[in-house]
Amino acid sequence: MEKETNTTVQALKAHLALNVNDVERSTEFYKKALGLEPVKVRRGYAKFDVQNPPLNLTLNEVPVRESGALSHLGIQLASTEDVLAMRQTWLDRGLQIEDEMQTNCCYALQDKTWVRDPDGNQLEAFVVLKDNLAETTTCCGTGETEQAETSATGTTSAATESATSNDAQAAASCCAPIAASTAATVDTAAVANVCCDTTAATPVTISR
Amino acid sequence: MKETARAAIHTLKAHVAINVRNVERSLEFYRKMLDLEPVKSRPGYAKFDVESPPLNLTINERPFHDRGALFHLGIQVASTADVLAMRERWAEAGLSTREEMQIVCGYALQDKSWVTDPDGNEWEVFVVHRDNLPTYYGNESEQSCCPSGVSCSTAATIQSTACADVAEEKQALDEKR
């Protein structure tokens, strides 16, 4: 918001209401992911009042087949150390994580790790290391050096061709893990190579 | 977060990434809605770095069928005056608003106003007056609690039975009284 807005509207929190197939199952997941108990639980409904970062998150039991308009969710952190701490916390709580370190995604260099909720929605803990990279930056690399090396194998060049053939789609793909159902309408070659596609991603070894 | 996690992990913002069918069209909407320019705009992609409330919001041009897991979005504010101020600003920006004042929704007494993005996703600006009420809906606003695109009646006939469920629950609760 602009400064003017800040003086006239006192905003407390962003609010996100999710449709979930099974609220109890999702509540269990978000308790672990957020390290927090829900503040309100009713039949088919739960609310998490997250302070850090500020978020009013509600789960609403509604049959849902796909992520639909929801690309993914995230918690933006201050440093790679925070990402690794969150990753460890998630591991300690029994969540399955998928790492993407030094990834060029959404025109930004990031370190991140993903968890997936019971309905397949993906939640990332991430830090932005370098933002506003140029449009020419391929979105699917896992670091510039590695990208160059990979292109020799043809893997990255295939992704680049797909990106060139459909810039908007490829750019969007980069920033979103693949929701299973949308893949049907998306070019499969592009989907197979998009960055942040944790369904296709190779786990990255963390050496730090 | 647990106290230990809170001490150890420095969080900045929640991040929500939504799929949109036309990023240019959605950009225009979110500029008006947030009263903010995107910090990053690329073909098929834009990012709004919202400070108040803290939110990293990205829009991603990508085909999708329906709202799916995204029920709705919102901005929680401190008072009814804030709801009205935001509503006024939205109206001045040319957005069409829909008001719901003094309604019980999500087991809470609230004042709110809604706008709808070009893909039909609804955003509410709302204040919670009283929370943790026994019923999901208030008597006067049986159907108003759902975002307009998924009214209770259409929700029941399409795929979303939650509204019907809560209506049944409410009826059951009423009968118990």
Contact A19 B67 (CB under 8 A): yes
State which of A39-43, B150-154, B170-174 shows the largest mean pLDDT. Answer: A39-43
User: For the residues B18-31, what does the mean pLDDT come to?
Assistant: 97
Least reliable range by pLDDT among A111-115, B107-111, B145-149, B169-173: B169-173
User: For the residues B2-27, what does the mean pLDDT come to?
Assistant: 84
CA-based nearest residue in chain B for residue A4: B35
Distance between A153 CA and the closest CA of chain B, angstroms: 27
Q: Is this model's pTM higher than 0.90 or not? A: no
Contact B64 A68 (CB under 8 A): yes
Q: Which residue has the higher pLDDT, B168 or B61?
A: B61
Percent of chain B clearing pLDDT 90 (strictly above): 65
Q: Which residue has the higher pLDDT, B13 or A202?
A: B13
Contact A66 B50 (CB under 8 A): no
Contact A76 B155 (CB under 8 A): no
Per-chain mean pLDDT for chain B: 80
Asked if the model's pLDDT at residue B174 lies above 50, the reply is no
Q: Which residue has the higher pLDDT, B21 or B135?
A: B21
**Token couple for B38:** 């995107």
Q: Assess A91–B contact: CB distance below 8 Å, yes or no.
A: no
Contact (Cβ atoms closer than 8 angstroms) between residue B103 and residue B141: yes
Query: Choosing among A3, A8, A12, A194, which should be mutated to test the B contact, i.e. which has the most B CBs within 10 A?
Result: A12
Q: Edge-to-edge, what's the strand order for the sheet holding B122-130?
A: A40-42, A45-51, A54-61, A11-20, B70-77, B122-130, B108-116, B98-105
Percent of chain B clearing pLDDT 70 (strictly above): 72
The pLDDT of residue B137: 62
The pLDDT of residue B85: 96
User: For the residues B51-64, what does the mean pLDDT come to?
Assistant: 96
Q: Which of A133, A145, A63, A152 is nearest to B71 (CA)?
A: A63
A71 forms bridges with which residues in the sheet?
none
The pLDDT of residue B105: 84
The pLDDT of residue A136: 52
Q: Which residue has the higher pLDDT, A202 or B118?
A: B118
User: For the residues B70-97, what does the mean pLDDT come to?
Assistant: 97
User: For the residues B64-79, what does the mean pLDDT come to?
Assistant: 95
Q: Is B6 exposed, middle or buried (0-12, 13-18, 19+ CB in 10 A)?
A: middle
Query: How many CB atoms are located within 10 Å of the residue B167 CB?
Result: 17
* Residues of chain A predicted below pLDDT 70: 1-7, 135-208
The pLDDT of residue B135: 72
Q: Assess A17–B contact: CB distance below 8 Å, yes or no.
A: yes
Helix (H, G, I), strand (E, B) or coil at A56: strand
User: For the residues B13-42, what does the mean pLDDT come to?
Assistant: 97
Query: In terms of DSSP H, where are the helices of chain B?
Result: 3-8, 23-34, 80-92, 152-157, 162-176
pLDDT band at B10 (very low <50, low <70, confident <90, very high): very high
Residues of B in contact with A2 (CB under 8 A): 35-36
